[in-house]
Amino acid sequence: MLAITQDRYGSPDELELRDVDKPVPTGSQVLVRVKAVSLNAYDWHLMRGDPYLARLSFGTRRPRQRIRGRDFAGQVEAVGPDVTRLRPGDEVFGEADGAFAEYVCAPDDVVETKPAGLTFEQAAALPLAGNTALIGLRDVAPLRPGLRVLVNGASGGVGTYAVQIAKAYGAEVTGVCSARNADLVRSLGADRVIDYAAVDFTREGQRYDVVLDLVGNRSLTAFRRALTPKGTLVLSGGGVSEGGSLFGPMGLILRGPAVSRFVGQRILTLTAKQSGANLATLRELVDSGKITPAIDRTYASLSEVPEAIRYLEVEHARAKVVVTV
């Protein structure tokens, strides 16, 4: 089968389309013939081995997992002997390493039946970003009707789902993004949109019950100014500017809980884990019309994955970038 592989950390130039062995499902695994994949910041962070501290889990000298990719949608080709829930022919979506390929093997508990109303491309845009937004708001925050929620980075992959999920759970939502993405964020249900280039939301005087940070472009002191006295800051992601290429966003994330012990506000970190149950919840939200995947650009084949990652990394893509396989 064809797959996008990587032998050493670096730019998209290190990614190669190669012929590799087709995986065989064992135990509780399912083999999925991939129809579409989507890209995440996770993919280019792993590609570059950035931040360096993350290489302790990615692989110290080279990527431990040679085939890139995480999100997929497709059709079940075969199942392991312990699988009873899924059958060959089922249309599914899920999240597993090695997804940028014609076939991917995944544990059956991180694969779910595809929402009937979505294309494979739309379904592939759902797993990692949707799951991250769901965990951050429903489980970590947690949400309840009437809360004032601010999403910093509302036009990104996770942010577009966070705006919709917050609205689905009854929150009043403010999205922070660039002016060019304001209409997109409003269309997803945001009650208010802030152009980060024109207004510093940490200094405008508004206070929020929950701030979900997906950018890492403010200090803890600044974020706390935007919270109510008993508000919750949920930290996820961020850039090299907050901690440098050695620690990346982990510096902010590590400091947050320590500060939280001495103040009335809650400062929590978002750790997203693969979950078939959460995929089922996302499918229900899609089926009920409460969330819809937002896609910025679609590429036509696996061979275009390097260019797609370059676009995601450099052009600050809005919403999701998808590749048809």
In whole angstroms, give the CA distance from residue 8 to residue 308.
19
Q: What percent of the chain has pLDDT over 90?
A: 76
Whether the predicted pLDDT of 263 surpasses 80: no
Task: State residue 252's pLDDT score.
Answer: 62
pLDDT-wise least confident of 31-40, 64-73, 120-129, 159-168: 64-73
Task: State residue 257's pLDDT score.
Answer: 66
Is 60 within the bounds of a domain?
yes
Domain co-membership, 46 together with 144: no
Is 279 within the bounds of a domain?
no
Query: Which residue in 320, 301, 308 sits closest to 3, CA to CA?
Result: 301
In whole angstroms, give the CA distance from residue 113 to residue 46.
28
Q: Is 180 buried (19+), middle (13-18) or exposed (0-12) by CB count in 10 A?
A: exposed
Residue 156 domain boundaries? 129-269
Is 300 within the bounds of a domain?
yes
Query: Which residue in 95, 40, 31, 98 sits closest to 68, CA to CA?
Result: 98
Is 280 within the bounds of a domain?
no
Query: Which residue in 292, 307, 300, 303 sits closest to 323, CA to CA?
Result: 300
pLDDT-wise least confident of 162-166, 254-258, 276-280, 317-321: 254-258
φ, ψ for residue 228, nearest 5 deg: -70, 165
Distance of CA 285 to the CA centre of its chain: 17
In whole angstroms, give the CA distance from residue 300 to residue 110.
26
Whether the predicted pLDDT of 240 surpasses 50: no
Q: How confident is the model at residue 242 (pLDDT cuts 50, 70, 90)?
A: very low
Task: State residue 247's pLDDT score.
Answer: 46
Query: Which residue in 135, 120, 163 sits closest to 235, CA to CA?
Result: 135
Domain co-membership, 156 together with 251: yes
Domain co-membership, 139 together with 223: yes
Domain co-membership, 197 together with 247: yes
- Asked whether the whole model's pTM tops 0.85, one would answer yes
Average pLDDT over residues 223-227: 95
Which residues sit opposite 79 in a β-bridge? 30
Instruction: Please say which residue of 227, 253, 269 terminates a domain.
Output: 269
Domain co-membership, 217 together with 317: no
Please check whether residue 134 is in contact with residue 160, taking contact to mean a CB–CB distance below 8 angstroms. no
Whether the predicted pLDDT of 69 surpasses 90: yes
Averaged pLDDT score across all residues of the chain: 90
pLDDT-wise least confident of 4-8, 37-41, 61-65, 124-128: 61-65
Domain co-membership, 241 together with 135: yes
Is 277 within the bounds of a domain?
no
Domain co-membership, 139 together with 22: no
Instruction: Please say which residue of 228, 254, 269 terminates a domain.
Output: 269
- Beta strand 227-235 with 266-269: parallel, antiparallel or unpaired? parallel
Q: How confident is the model at residue 139 (pLDDT cuts 50, 70, 90)?
A: very high
Is 284 within the bounds of a domain?
no
- Can you state the angle between helices 41-48 and 305-314, rounded to 10 degrees? 100
CATH number at 44 reads 3.90.180.10
Domain co-membership, 226 together with 308: no
Domain co-membership, 165 together with 223: yes
Domain co-membership, 146 together with 167: yes
Average pLDDT over residues 100-126: 97
Specify whether the backbone of 199 is left (phi greater than 0), alpha (psi in -120 to 50) or beta: beta
Task: State residue 92's pLDDT score.
Answer: 98
Average pLDDT over residues 259-273: 79
pLDDT-wise least confident of 84-93, 247-256, 258-267: 247-256
Is 286 within the bounds of a domain?
no
Average pLDDT over residues 203-231: 94
Residue 287's Cβ-side half-sphere holds a number of Cα atoms within 13 Å equal to: 10
- Can you state the angle between helices 127-134 and 276-287, rounded to 10 degrees? 90
Q: How far is CA 104 from CA 68, 70, 78, 239, in A?
A: 11, 10, 11, 30
Number of independent structural domains in the chain: 2
Domain co-membership, 163 together with 261: yes
Domain co-membership, 118 together with 148: no
pLDDT-wise least confident of 69-78, 182-191, 266-275: 266-275
Please check whether residue 127 is in contact with residue 71, taking contact to mean a CB–CB distance below 8 angstroms. yes
Q: How confident is the model at residue 272 (pLDDT cuts 50, 70, 90)?
A: confident
Cβ neighbours, 10 Å, residue 244 = 11
Q: How confident is the model at residue 259 (pLDDT cuts 50, 70, 90)?
A: low
Is 274 within the bounds of a domain?
no
Task: State residue 199's pLDDT score.
Answer: 97
